[in-house]
Amino acid sequence: QEQPSMQVFEQLESEVRSYCRSFTTVFHKAQNARLWDTNGKEYIDFFAGAGALNYGHNNSGIKQKLIDYLLEDGVTHSLDMATQAKETFLSRFQNLILKPRGLDYKIMFPGPTGTNSVESAMKIARKVTGRTEIISFTNAFHGMSLGSLSATGNQFKRKGAGVYLPYATFMPYDGYFGQSVNTAAYMEKLLDDPGSGVEIPAAVILETVQGEGGLNAASDEWLREIERICRERDIMLIVDDVQMGCGRTGTFFSFEDAGINPDIVCLSKSIGGFGLPMALTLIKPEYDIWNPGEHNGTFRGNNLGFVAASEALDYWVDSDFEPQIARKANMIRRSLEQMLLVHPGVDAEIRGKGLIQGIAFAEPELASELCTEAFKRGIIMETSGPRDEVAKLMPPLTIEQELLERGLRVVREAMNEMME
C-alpha cells in the first residue's frame, strides 16, 4: 500500500525545483535530535540543519521565550532601530561570550545568512587595507553569492556563477599534501617572493575545520602560524565560523583551542538559536570604519532571532556544557574507530573534530551508500567533501547521550549491511 507521504514526495518531484533527493520522505515534527515523518516513523538527526540547529529542534526553553515575546506583541522586525530584544542580545553576547574570552569586537548585523557575513568581512578588509586580493584555501566553503563564492574552492559550485570569479588566490590548506608538508611555510614563501605572482592580500579567510570541504581540521600550530604570517604583513585574518562556531567543535568559537585572535569573525547558522536566520560579523573596533549605509540589508534586524539567540547563550553559562560536548565527541570518535576496525579492508580515515566528525572513503560512492543505508534505518546524515567522499555525523550539541549511542549503533549496522 502506498504511503501518503510518498505521494506528496512524488508530487514535489514533479512540481518544484527545490526538493531534497537524499531524504525521500515528508517530515512534520521534530524535537531536539529527533524528527518524525508523516507516517509516524522516527529519525535521529545527525545533520542538525547543516549546523543551524546546535541547540536542537524546538528547544523548549528557547521556544517558550519566543512564544512569550509574541504574546507580548514584541517588535519582530526593526532594521537598525534599537529594540529591547536587540539590546538584550548585544549585552548578553558581550557579557557571556566576548568578555569571558578576553575578546573585543564590534558586533555587526550583515544580513540573515552566513554568506552575508562573509561578504561583509571581505568588503571591510578591502576598505581597511586598500588592497583587493583575498587568500583562501583549497576546499574552502564560504558561500554561494559572488563575493563569497570567489573564496569557495569547489569547482562545481564556482562554475555555477556563470562569470569569472576574480580576487581570490587559493593556498593549500593544512594537510593538503599530507602531514609532511608545512603549507603555512609554503604560503609564507610565496608571499615574500617577488617572483611568485602572489600579492599581499587584504585578508586571509579560513575555516578551522572545513565543514563542506570534507571535514579537514587544521592543527592549532598551523592556525597560529597563519596568524603570525598575517600579523607580520598587516594582512587581516578572517575566521569563517559560520558552521564551526557556536560550539560545533567543542568551544563557542572554533579558534579558542588554538588561542588565535582573528581580526574578523563570521557567525551565522546556530547563532539564531532556533534555526532562525541570523548572522553576525565581529570586527575589531579599530577596523570599524564603515559609514552608515555602506553595508545594509532588509533582514538584519530580525528580533525573533535576537530573542532566540539571547536565550541560547544560557548554555554557555553552564560549566558542564563544553565537557558534555567533549564526551559526546569521544563517543563518536570511538564508534567510528570501531567501524573501521571491524572492516579492515575498507580504505578510509576518520576526520573532523568535536560534534562534526565523519569517515572519508577512498571510494567516494561508499559515503553516499552509507548515508542511504543509514537513512533507511532512520538516521539523517549527509556527505561532504569535493567528491562527496565523507559520510558526516553532525548531531545537535544537545542530543541525549542515549540517543547518540543508539544512532551510532544504527550507523555501524548500516556499514555492516553495506559491506556484506
**What cell numbers appear for 117 in the block?**
557575513
Residues 240, 322, 373, 389: which binds ligand PMP (CB under 6 A)? 240
**Least distance to ligand PMP, CB of residue 112, Å:** 8
**Least distance to ligand PMP, CB of residue 317, Å:** 26
Residues 57, 65, 92, 142: which binds ligand PMP (CB under 6 A)? 142
Which of the ranges 16-24, 86-94, 239-247, 331-339 carries the binding residues for ligand PMP, by CB under 6 A? 239-247
Sequence-distant (≥ 6) Cβ neighbours of residue 11 within 8 angstroms: none
Q: Which residues pair with 198 in a beta bridge?
A: none
- Beta carbon nearer to ligand PMP, 14 or 18: 18
Is 243 a binding residue for ligand PMP by CB under 6 A? The answer is: yes
In what order do the strands lie in the sheet containing 27-31?
27-31, 34-37, 42-45, 379-380
Residues 211, 214, 275, 407: which binds ligand PMP (CB under 6 A)? 211
Which of the ranges 130-138, 139-147, 250-258, 381-389 carries the binding residues for ligand PMP, by CB under 6 A? 139-147
Residues 141, 252, 253, 274: which binds ligand PMP (CB under 6 A)? 141
**What cell numbers appear for 178 in the block?**
599530507
Which of the ranges 57-65, 102-110, 240-248, 335-343 carries the binding residues for ligand PMP, by CB under 6 A? 240-248
- Beta carbon nearer to ligand PMP, 183 or 268: 268
- Judged by CB under 6 A, the number of residues near ligand PMP is 15
Closest residue by Cα to residue 24 from 380, 275, 369, 370: 380
**Least distance to ligand PMP, CB of residue 55, Å:** 17
> Which residues ranging from 104 to 123 are in contact with ligand PMP (CB under 6 A)?
113-115, 118
Residues 6, 26, 50, 340: which binds ligand PMP (CB under 6 A)? 50
Is 273 a binding residue for ligand PMP by CB under 6 A? The answer is: no
Is 242 a binding residue for ligand PMP by CB under 6 A? The answer is: yes
**Least distance to ligand PMP, CB of residue 141, Å:** 5
Is 251 a binding residue for ligand PMP by CB under 6 A? The answer is: no
**Least distance to ligand PMP, CB of residue 405, Å:** 27
**Least distance to ligand PMP, CB of residue 186, Å:** 23
Cα three-residue angle 251-257-261, rounded to 5 degrees: 100
The b-or-e profile of 300-316 (16+ CB within 10 A means b, else e) is bbbbbbbbbbbbbbbbb
**Position closest to ligand PMP via CB:** 114
**Least distance to ligand PMP, CB of residue 146, Å:** 13
**Least distance to ligand PMP, CB of residue 194, Å:** 33
- Beta carbon nearer to ligand PMP, 118 or 381: 118
Which of the ranges 136-144, 295-303, 326-334, 383-391 carries the binding residues for ligand PMP, by CB under 6 A? 136-144
The b-or-e profile of 381-418 (16+ CB within 10 A means b, else e) is bbbbbbebbbbbbbbbbbbeeebbeebbebbbebbeee
Which of the ranges 29-37, 236-244, 250-258, 410-418 carries the binding residues for ligand PMP, by CB under 6 A? 236-244
Residues forming the site for ligand PMP (CB under 6 A):
50, 113-115, 118, 141-143, 207, 211-212, 240, 242-243, 268
